Amino acid sequence: MRQLSGQELLHGVALMDLIVEYMKEHYRDSPAYQTYLNRLKINQYKNRSERYLEERANDEHYTIDKTRKLQGNS
């Protein structure tokens, strides 16, 4: 599989934006679109949680164990 160029990536992102806008207009009330929105919210929450854990791990008073739980060092 070849690596995409920056221009191809931009075109892909623009296409995804168009698809999402189309879905918003035409499928707003459909269960599939609602499921998509819910998954998007869950992924955003997971990303924020991961960033929070990474930031706290950089603090000398905390470590992250193998189960990704925040542990305070005393």
Q: Is residue 62 situated within a structural domain?
A: yes
pLDDT digits (tens, 9 = 90+) for 12-53: 888 988 988 887 788 778 888 888 888 988 888 888 888 877
How many folded domains does the chain comprise?
A: 1
Which carries the bigger pLDDT value, residue 39 or residue 70?
39
What range defines the domain where residue 49 resides? 6-72
- Residue 1 inside a domain? The answer is no
Which residue intervals of the chain are DSSP H helices? 6-26, 31-58
CA distances in angstroms from 43 to 22, 38, 71, listed in the order given: 21, 9, 23
Q: Has this prediction a pTM greater than 0.85?
A: no
CA-wise closest residue to 49 among 68, 62, 71? 68
